[in-house]
Amino acid sequence: MLDLHTHSSASDGADAPRELVRQAKERGLKGIALTDHDTCAGLEEAFAAGLELGLWVLPGVELSAEWGDEDVHILGYWISASHRELSDLMLKLRADRASRMARIVGRLRELGLTISLSEVSAQSDGDGYSLGRPHIARALVARGYVRSMSEAFDLYLERGRPAYVPRYKLSPQEAIGAIVRSGGVAVWAHPGHLASQLLLPMVQAGLAGMEVYHPQHDTRQEQALLRLAKYYELVVTAGSDAHSAAALGAKRASLDTWYQLWSCR
Ligand SMILES: [Zn+2]
Ligand SMILES: [Zn+2]
């Protein structure tokens, strides 16, 4: 009945927070956590819509950390957006993301693929801070330089490809620490195959839960993650990672999960 992982146009989602809440209600969900990338800018609108339409909205964020060459995303629930350390960190991550976009566009230009930053922005409804590589990929498709987004990533944008630009490195432990110190509860989003190596230091840093159920996990992975979650006494969560209202509720968590997370505060 709850979707604990959703994105709005405040980061890289397609729908405004209000529309996301409206459609969650329409789909019979009882509540959602809005977990935009590195920003809490959509929360106020989502709260207002939730009050008006009768849907629980849980304040959240998804911080982008890195471990070696791997992306590690940490969900923070009940975080305080005005907490100094967390808001500074989100600002830094977003500023880095913005300058990184300009550098990627520069690299592409050197490769003869001329797109402008405004063409990239045109692929997003967000505020510009929320631009990511998917928007660049869409701009490349729109220009006809590649046939699909996956081709854009495979040829140019993926790590190891010519237009890849690394970003500001935040460790998973730092992300967890900032969430916990702001009064929030930290959950590892879509751990995939990384869990067994990384879990212990993350638990030591204050990790409270693990998103076992995610559209990218297959049954085998879910079972492996369930065992690890049990071993480390982590709350098992579920989320659709919806980047548009159409994907809402693909994975659902129970009310009990919500209470378990709440009791970790
Ligand atoms: Zn993620
Ligand atoms: Zn996400």
Distance 254 CA to ligand 2 centre (A): 19
* 8 neighbors 20 (Cβ within 8 angstroms): yes
Ligand 2 centroid to 101 CA: how many Å?
A: 19
What spacing in Å lies between the alpha carbon of 142 and ligand 2's midpoint? 24
Residue 140 has pLDDT above 50, yes or no: yes
What is the pLDDT averaged over residues 62-68? 91
Q: Which fold has domain 2-89+168-262?
A: TIM Barrel (3.20.20)
* CB-based contact 37:134 (threshold 8 Å): no
Quickly state the pLDDT bin for 197 (edges 50, 70, 90): confident
Name the pLDDT band for 126 (thresholds 50, 70, 90). Answer: low
Band (131; pLDDT cuts 50, 70, 90) = confident
Q: What spacing in Å lies between the alpha carbon of 112 and ligand 1's midpoint?
A: 31
Dist. CA 121 → ligand 2 center (Å): 20
Average pLDDT over residues 219-231: 96
Query: In this structure, which ligand is nearest to the CA of 7?
Result: 2
Res 125: pLDDT: 66
Please, what is the average pLDDT of the chain?
93
By three-state DSSP, how is residue 265 classified? coil
Distance 108 CA to ligand 1 centre (A): 25
Q: Which ligand is nearest to the CA of 61?
A: 2
**Residue 167 binned pLDDT confidence (cut-offs 50, 70, 90):** confident
- pLDDT at residue 129, as a whole number: 47
Closest ligand relative to 191 C-alpha:
1
DSSP E strand boundaries for the chain: 2-6, 31-34, 56-67, 70-77, 185-188, 209-213, 235-238
Q: What angle do CA 238, 239, 240 make, to 5 degrees?
A: 140
Which of 246, 171, 243, 167 is CA-nearest to residue 201?
Answer: 171
Tell me the percentage of the chain whose pLDDT exceeds 70: 98
Q: Is the pLDDT of residue 142 over 80?
A: yes
Contact indicator for 168, 96 with CB cutoff of 8 Å: yes
Asked if the model's pLDDT at residue 130 lies above 60, the reply is no
For residue 110, how far is its CA from the centre of ligand 2 (angstroms)? 31
Identify the pLDDT of residue 132. 82
Q: What does the pLDDT average to over 231-244?
A: 96
Q: What is the pTM of this model?
A: 0.83
170: CA distance to ligand 2 center in Å?
Answer: 17
What is the identity of the amino acid at 165? V
Cα–Cα–Cα angle for 154, 156, 244, rounded to 5 degrees: 65
User: pLDDT tens digit string along 20-42?
Assistant: 999 999 999 999 999 999 999 99
Please tell me the distance between residue 7's alpha carbon and the centre of ligand 1 in angstroms. Answer: 10
